[in-house]
Structure 1
Amino acid sequence: MSDSPAGAAGAHNPWLIAVVVSIATFMEVLDTTIANVALRYISGTLAISTDQASWVVTTYLVANAIVLTASSFIAKRYGRKRFYLGCLGLFTVSSILCGFAWNLESLLVFRVFQGFAGGGMVPISQSILADSFPPAKRGQAFAIFGVAVVVAPVVGPTLGGWLSDNYSWHWCFLINGPVGVLAFALVAMLVQEPKSAIEERETLKRQGIRLDLVGFLLVAGFLGSLEMVLDRGQTEDWFGSSFIIVFTIICVACFCLMIPWELTRKNPVMDLRMIATRQFGSCFLVMMATGAILIATTQFLPELLQQYYGYTATWAGMALSPGGLVTMMMMFVVGRLTGIVEPKYLIAVGAGIVALAMWDLTNLYADATFWFFAWSRIFIGLGLPLIFIPITTASYNGIPPDKTDQASAMINVARNVGGSIGVSVAANVLAYREQFHQSRLVEHVVPSNPAYQTTLQTVTNYFATAGNAADAPGQAIAYIGQQVQTQAGFWAYIDVFFVLMLISAAAVPLALILRNVHR
């Protein structure tokens, strides 16, 4: 396939097609993180807890991952351009509806529709790019696409913070309206259905091959119930709750039924045999770990900065911006390195750098400056491109040509599912360890402790000097309680970053067991 009229570009310049599909992809991936710094605004406006507000992120990721499993087949069976425009239109409309949501339930419903629509856009964008360029130029085209995929989650918090501070959180979603309309018009005018895709669609119709609907429902049930258990487990007291038990049973049942069903289908929605191989399975796990780091850090770093350092949403997002610039530059550097160095070594180095960045964040302290957090994000920005681009090359190694679309979809599933699980695990670690540290610290805040008595007397004297002496003892006790809670929070965030460090470090040996590939 090339840039001839038979390709997706038709008579148009293929670089114009690359820019158009990258705009749509950037908008879709941007929505994985743009609401992260706005969660406090969302929780305040809708009168919900910050933990409930985090469902805005995880529901999108799960819905996105579910549709990814079926997007390749639907595009082949019913027309790539038709499916792409349908996804783009639904994404735009649901984004606008998210901006007008009146309560948490309505926001989550519209967010799920947004995730469903977005899930079909990324893999189809890749297919359009592959059809628009000759093989010799595809690497450069995918570098532009890679910038959209990797930089968008980092730009999201900055843009979302600025919109939330200066306008309202609703604009984090409403901004997709005009961009979506423009992208829809450009795709409709410029992108063509390749002749090969039309022939493939007709072949599928003649053969009567249909979507593996049962497999799709089992995958959806497994991922959806797993996310429900991870999201609600902490607040519902885990298996002390009948709600959690029911969803656990659904999750296990769907998983156990999914394996034999998918292994015996001629056209499975998820080819589990691919995941069972050393090469693709390792890539799948590494991408899950990468998604967990990328999404979890872009949610919890802004929360930390706003809650304990007094940053506005804009400045919390700005702390992540230097990492985004570094990521953008590294994408082109790594694009050249993949032709020289074995992908497994690049992935291992990238995972090692990200692990070191997470370890650096465990040195968190109360007086940490803006650049302490910015530098940690820069290190992450150095490491992530060393994983994203080489893992695409490594994951396709040994995959038959007719399975490349599904391989692409499944790698994107791994990123989104990993991100969703990463957010849920980090939230649970944060809640549990905050309770743990607070209970340990409170053990020392007792009248029999001389250090407590000294501190209480010092603080009481301070408040007595500064204000009403009668209220000073009560103010001193309240102040000490607040400090205990703050210290417990700091230690809990340190534990979160330590867990993320272990996840990153686990990706290193997984990368090293990959086979050498022909570059």
Structure 2
Amino acid sequence: MVQTGDDDLVEYGFRRVIITITAVLCALLEIVDTTIVNVALNDMRGSLGATLTDVAWVVTAYAIANVIVIPMTSWLSQQFGRRNYFAVSIVVFTVTSFLCGNATNIWELVAFRFIQGLGGGALLVTAQTIITESYPVAKRGMAQAIYGMGVIVGPTLGPPLGGYLVDNYSWPYIFYINIPLGIIATILTLSFVKSPKYGDKLKANQVDWLGIIFLAAFIGSLQFILEHGQQDDWFNDSLIVALAVVTVFSLLFFIWRELTFEHPIVNLRVLRDTNLRIGTILTFILGFGLYGSTFVIPIYTQSILGWTALQAGMFLIPSSLTTAFMMPFIGKMIQKGIPQAYMIATGFLIFFFFTFMMHNVLTSDTGREHMFWPLILRGVGLGLLFVPITTLSLSTLSGKGIGEGAAFTGMTRQLGGSFGIALITTFITRQTQNHRVDLVTNLDPSNYNVQQTIHGLQMGFMSKGYTMNEALAKAYQALDYKVITQATLLSYQDVFWYLGIMFLLCIPFIFLIKKGKNKINPADAMH
């Protein structure tokens, strides 16, 4: 399908400012909604009478829909026109936000969240395309940087914003806040955004329906396994086993279908490009580190340090603002021709130093001042990774292949986040058990210090009116709580250590990337 030249889509002055604001607003709306519900799950559970397992589907349904629709966004834009598809996605997202806030039971909410995720996933990739194509070729590195600000800051804004709305109003307001912003974004999109001209649309019998079904089955099953594997005891659960089988066979059939069908929903042949293959690996690791660290730091500060959700969320903001502040400078560095491979290698190294410092400063009474500079380092590292990895991944592609490659990098970043959160959750649970066993074996009842600790705790409980036997039982409970807390703390330290090693191991891959023939235009056919 042939589209118009890039110059037809470039905007200047006021129009470009409005389009930039619209695209960043939509990207922010989508990404904030992936994390804003986390702090409201407990309130939802109470008001809707749901179990913890049921309410987890509020997060899972949105994530599954997101990852399913992202790789199909290029194709859907071509079928319906980019502006129309983008506007309809905003409307779907906004209407379902209202329906989510008015849900009367948990399964209504889950269904509306799934539909909201279908609209939201489209916003993410299409906003990137619109904002980039609105800038002339020479300034598209800067356009990527502006878009990157929204993507990086978004996951961090969710928890504090959600915490504020839940504390001061009620959980439906985390959805209602989308409505006025969605209405404004829809009006601005219809008024200012232009759509490329495509060739003839596919007929119904040319649409890759089987490809869509296999993709949805593969991504949906995999996402469910990642979200629910730990709480359902992984492969000891029959549903997890069944979905694992569905995942494997759906993937195999999907690959076969896309390589043999004339009009594939996702063009897998684009992965023949070496830079893109390496780039998807690096993007996966980036998603793993970005979402994984965003996930583990609030858990640590709330479960070990006793912070509120709002305090934990606010604490991450300086790190994200550092990344946002760096983005324009990264864009200028790319425009000046500074090798992106060096920037990526430096970013991975800085991220390693962040994890190393976090590993060393985590204690049961760590103060904000001890974690502030490591988190600033995290922000610098992410700034050096996001845009350079994306542009370098696409640097040896051309034309329509760039858009198809961008769909892979977007999907792998989301999947990397899902894998990161799932694996970190499992790792923390299992490492906590292992550390607890090790700590308990060192608690020798005949040891003088252990005896003195138990006696001191017993005396403390007796002073509060407990009998000697009751106080002794309470003392053992308190000691066990201390052991569990210490074991959990050690598992958090392990997480940061292994994250750091993973980022270090990525550095050699960067030097396998070929130098692009020209300055990348990440917007070519990125639908």
TM-score, length basis structure 1: 0.91
- Give 1:440's aligned amino acid: D
Q: Which runs of 5+ in 1 are unaligned?
A: none
| Number of positions where the alignment pairs a residue of Structure 1 with one of Structure 2 | 512
Residue among 259, 266, 280 paired with 2:276: 280
Cα distance in 2 for partners of 1:330, 1:449 equals 54
Cα distance in 1 for partners of 2:350, 2:365 equals 25
Deviation per CA, 1:491-514: give whole Å up to 9, x if none. Answer: 222222233223322332222321
Q: Which residue is 1:97 aligned to? A: 99
Per the alignment, do residues 111 and 137 of structure 1 end up closer, same or farther by CA in structure 2, a change over 3 Å counting?
same
1:91-490 mapped onto 2 (5 Å cutoff): 91-193=93-195, 197-198=196-197, 200=198, 202-205=199-202, 210-338=206-334, 339-363=336-360, 364-445=362-443, 447-470=445-468, 471-490=470-489
Q: Which residue is 1:85 aligned to? A: 87
CA contact 1:157–1:298 (8 Å) conserved in 2: no
Deviation per CA, 1:266-291: give whole Å up to 9, x if none. Answer: 33223323334321011111111111
- Give 1:166's aligned amino acid: N
Q: CA RMSD in A?
A: 2.6
Q: Which residue is 1:16 aligned to? A: 18
SS of the equivalent of 1:133 reads: coil
Per the alignment, do residues 417 and 253 of structure 1 end up closer, same or farther by CA in structure 2, a change over 3 Å counting?
same
Cα distance in 2 for partners of 1:208, 1:217 equals 15
Q: Which residue is 2:511 aligned to? A: 512
Per-residue deviation at 1:357? Answer: 1.2
Cα distance in 2 for partners of 1:508, 1:105 equals 44
Cα distance in 2 for partners of 1:62, 1:38 equals 19
Deviation per CA, 1:246-278: give whole Å up to 9, x if none. Answer: 111101111222222222233322332333432
CA contact 1:319–1:373 (8 Å) conserved in 2: no
CA contact 1:157–1:320 (8 Å) conserved in 2: no
CA contact 2:65–2:117 (8 Å) conserved in 1: yes
SS of the equivalent of 1:34 reads: helix
- Give 1:458's aligned amino acid: G
CA contact 1:2–1:133 (8 Å) conserved in 2: no
Deviation per CA, 1:222-254: give whole Å up to 9, x if none. Answer: 121112222322233322222121111101111
CA contact 1:62–1:420 (8 Å) conserved in 2: no
Q: Percent identity?
A: 32
CA contact 1:3–1:9 (8 Å) conserved in 2: no
Per-residue deviation at 1:302? Answer: 1.3
Per-residue deviation at 1:9? Answer: 5.3
Q: Which residue is 1:71 aligned to? A: 73
CA contact 1:222–1:251 (8 Å) conserved in 2: yes
SS of the equivalent of 1:120 reads: helix
Per the alignment, do residues 33 and 235 of structure 1 end up closer, same or farther by CA in structure 2, a change over 3 Å counting?
closer
Per the alignment, do residues 210 and 496 of structure 1 end up closer, same or farther by CA in structure 2, a change over 3 Å counting?
farther
Per-residue deviation at 1:45? Answer: 5.2
Per-residue deviation at 1:162? Answer: 2.2
Deviation per CA, 1:46-94: give whole Å up to 9, x if none. Answer: 5667677555444433321210111111111111111111110111122
Per-residue deviation at 1:104? Answer: 4.2
Per the alignment, do residues 265 and 509 of structure 1 end up closer, same or farther by CA in structure 2, a change over 3 Å counting?
farther
- Give 1:495's aligned amino acid: D
Cα distance in 1 for partners of 2:78, 2:6 equals 20
- Give 1:134's aligned amino acid: P
CA contact 1:63–1:112 (8 Å) conserved in 2: yes
CA contact 1:165–1:313 (8 Å) conserved in 2: no
TM-score, length basis structure 2: 0.89
Per the alignment, do residues 502 and 32 of structure 1 end up closer, same or farther by CA in structure 2, a change over 3 Å counting?
farther
CA contact 1:60–1:112 (8 Å) conserved in 2: yes
Moved more, 268-277 or 360-369: 268-277
CA contact 1:3–1:14 (8 Å) conserved in 2: no
Deviation per CA, 1:89-109: give whole Å up to 9, x if none. Answer: 111122233333445433332
Cα distance in 1 for partners of 2:511, 2:38 equals 33
SS of the equivalent of 1:362 reads: helix
Q: Which runs of 5+ in 2 are unaligned?
A: 520-527
Per the alignment, do residues 360 and 246 of structure 1 end up closer, same or farther by CA in structure 2, a change over 3 Å counting?
same
